[in-house]
């Protein structure tokens, strides 16, 4: 096992650290920005269905569902197609309205999640086209779908999903760019620009990983907290959900992820000097709004840990801690901004003496409903 961990203390840390490579592996042979080339073999025979779909329905569970939420923003922004993101466990039991003009994307690391599999079968019965985004080759979901693209993240052993999440977003980003280009909603020049933005992500994740020591120090200060709030907007809203899920599952600290603007509709009542609030406040179209949300938390004496874009000056003046990540196009920021949140939960869990790779009550794949 020590050999498999490759010198890391835990699989989770190894898998967090592998992300520059796993994201690059996911894009290898598919994306070539210089050549203006983007190919997903699995889509070849289904491009017509994808392009002409009235609606995209994404179904998944847990972290994979969070990747689906990021995809909702991507598909709607780049391809102007309506998207619905469904928890597989709800979708399968509610007699959903679905037909042959729907293109369903099922996302699953393991490819064995029972609820996701059942959602696929239901959508299939109703005549929809089902596309899988799976990590495990030959898994049940990979076999049950009409077509799919593997995430090529390599085996993920830690129960808390990390590199599979960023690989899922990488595949979904490529799908959104292809769709936008084919549907004519992304002009050629923007498309070319976005291809190189996406291609530049692994190097930026590599840089973000270097923040590990700083994050370990922040973890030491907050390891005994009883609650955490994670707030983000736009593309960083699903990242807030994912950050909170990571902390819950491995450190057993209660955490909630929220869209930052929803805070005033309830969670703001929780804020006092004991409440650490993690903001994902990178430079993007909702930055100014997030800054005012930070002010609201500060006014109530919450402790602010902010993930910001390198060189940020405004948030630095307000936050107790700033974690500076490289600048990227806002659509691809989740691939980077999630990394310090994975590291934060990892270090807190280690300091609390938790079993990081195999947290209590959790299994790597949930094969029961």
Q: Quick one: 33 or 366, whose CB is closer to ligand AGP? A: 366
Nearer to ligand AGP, 269 or 362 (CB): 362
Candidates 7-15, 44-52, 60-68, 338-346 — which segment interacts with ligand AGP by CB under 6 A?
A: 60-68
User: According to the 3-state scheme, what is the secondary structure of the chain?
Assistant: CCCCCCCCCCHHHHHHHCHHHHHHHHHCCCEECCCCEECCHHHHHHHHHHHHCCEEEEEECHHHHHHHHHHHHHHHHHHCCCEEEEEHHHHCCCCCCCCCCEEEEEEECCCCCHHHHHHHHHHHHCCCEEEEEECCCCCHHHHHCCEEEECCCCCCCCCCCCHHHHHHHHHHHHHHHHHHHHHCCCCHHHHHHHHHHHHCHHHHHHHHHCCHHHHHHHHHHHCCCCEEEEEECHHHHHHHHHHHHHHHHHHCCEEEEEEHHHHHHCHHHHCCCCCEEEEEECCCCCHHHHHHHHHHHHHCCCEEEEEEECCCCCHHHCCCEEEEECCCCHHHCHHHHHHHHHHHHHHHHHHCCCCCCCCCCCCCCCCCC
Q: Which is nearer to ligand AGP, 221 or 365 (CB)?
A: 365
365 binds ligand AGP (CB under 6 A): yes
Catalytic residue among 207, 223, 298, 364: 364
CA distance 133 to 145: 9
Whole-angstrom distance, CA of residue 3 vs CA of residue 145: 35
Toward ligand AGP, which CB reaches closer, 111 or 302? 111
Say whether residue 157 binds ligand AGP (CB under 6 A).
no
Interface residues for ligand AGP in 109-138 (CB under 6 A)? 109-110, 113, 116
| Smallest distance, ligand AGP to C-beta of residue 367, A | 10
- How near is the Cβ of 76 to ligand AGP at its closest, in Å? 23
Site for ligand AGP in 92-111 (CB under 6 A): 108-110
Residue 151 interacting with ligand AGP (CB under 6 A): no
Q: Applying CB under 6 A, does 257 fall inside the site for ligand AGP?
A: no
Cα 42 to Cα 11: distance, rounded to the nearest angstrom: 30
The interface region with ligand AGP, picked from 58-66, 145-153, 216-224, 269-277 by CB under 6 A, is: 58-66
Q: Interface with ligand AGP by CB under 6 A: which range of 33-41, 79-87, 155-163, 200-208? A: 155-163
d(CA 93, CA 170): 30
- Of 23, 24, 27, 159, the residue at the interface with ligand AGP (CB under 6 A) is 159
Answer yes or no whether residue 59 interacts with ligand AGP by CB under 6 A: no
Residue 112 CB, nearest approach to ligand AGP (Å): 7
Q: Which residue is nearest to ligand AGP (CB)?
A: 62
Question: Distance (Å, rounded) from C-alpha 123 to C-alpha 120?
Answer: 5
Q: Among 17, 19, 64, 286, which residue interacts with ligand AGP (rule: CB under 6 A)?
A: 64
Q: Out of 142, 160, 209, 323, point to the residue binding ligand AGP (CB under 6 A).
A: 160
Residue from 86, 249, 284, 324 touching ligand AGP (CB under 6 A): that is 249
Binding residues for ligand AGP restricted to 305-364, rule: CB under 6 A:
362
Burial-class residue 164 by CB neighbours within 10 Å (0-12, 13-18, 19+): buried
Task: Judge contact between 158 and 59, C-beta under 8 A.
Answer: no
Active site residue 364: yes
Residue 63 in the binding site for ligand AGP (CB under 6 A): yes
**Number of residues near ligand AGP (by CB under 6 A):** 16
According to the binding rule CB under 6 A, does residue 62 interact with ligand AGP? yes
State in angstroms the smallest separation of the CB of 140 from ligand AGP: 10
Catalytic annotation, residues: 364
**Which stretches of the chain bind ligand AGP, using CB under 6 A?**
61-64, 108-110, 113, 116, 159-161, 249, 362, 365-366
């Amino acid at each position: 096992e020590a050999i498999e961990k490759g010198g890391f203390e835990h699989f989770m840390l190894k898998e967090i650290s592998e992300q520059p490579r796993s994201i690059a592996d996911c894009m290898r042979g598919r994306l070539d920005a210089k050549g203006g080339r983007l190919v997903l073999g699995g889509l070849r025979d289904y491009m017509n269905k994808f392009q002409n779909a009235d609606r995209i329905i994404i179904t998944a569970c847990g972290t994979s569902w969070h990747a689906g939420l990021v995809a909702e923003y991507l598909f709607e922004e780049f391809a102007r197609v309506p998207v619905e993101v469904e928890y597989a466990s709800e979708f399968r039991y509610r007699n959903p309205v679905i037909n042959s003009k729907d293109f369903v994307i099922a996302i699953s690391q393991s490819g064995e999640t029972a609820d996701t599999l059942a959602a696929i079968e239901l959508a299939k019965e109703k005549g929809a086209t089902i596309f899988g985004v799976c990590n495990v080759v030959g898994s049940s979901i990979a076999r049950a779908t009409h077509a799919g693209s593997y995430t090529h993240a390599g085996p993920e052993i830690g129960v808390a999903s990390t590199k599979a999440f960023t690989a899922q977003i990488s595949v979904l980003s490529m799908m959104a760019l292809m769709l936008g280009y084919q549907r004519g909603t992304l002009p050629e020049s923007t498309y070319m620009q976005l291809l190189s933005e996406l291609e530049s992500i692994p190097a930026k994740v590599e840089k973000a990983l270097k923040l590990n020591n700083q994050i370990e120090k922040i973890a030491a200060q907050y390891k005994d907290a009883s609650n955490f709030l994670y707030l983000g907007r736009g593309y960083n809203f699903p990242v807030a959900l994912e950050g909170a899920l990571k902390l819950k599952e491995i450190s057993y600290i209660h955490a909630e992820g929220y869209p930052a603007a929803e805070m005033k509709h309830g969670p703001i009542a929780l804020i006092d000097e004991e409440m650490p609030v993690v903001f994902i406040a990178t430079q993007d179209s909702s930055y100014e709004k997030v800054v005012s949300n930070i002010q609201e938390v500060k006014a109530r004496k919450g402790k602010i840990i902010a993930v910001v874009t390198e060189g940020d000056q405004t948030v630095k003046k307000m936050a107790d801690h700033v974690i500076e990540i490289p600048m990227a196009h806002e659509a691809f920021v989740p691939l980077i901004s999630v990394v310090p949140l994975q590291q934060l939960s990892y270090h807190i869990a280690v300091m609390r003496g938790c079993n990081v790779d195999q947290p209590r009550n959790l299994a790597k794949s949930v094969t029961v409903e």
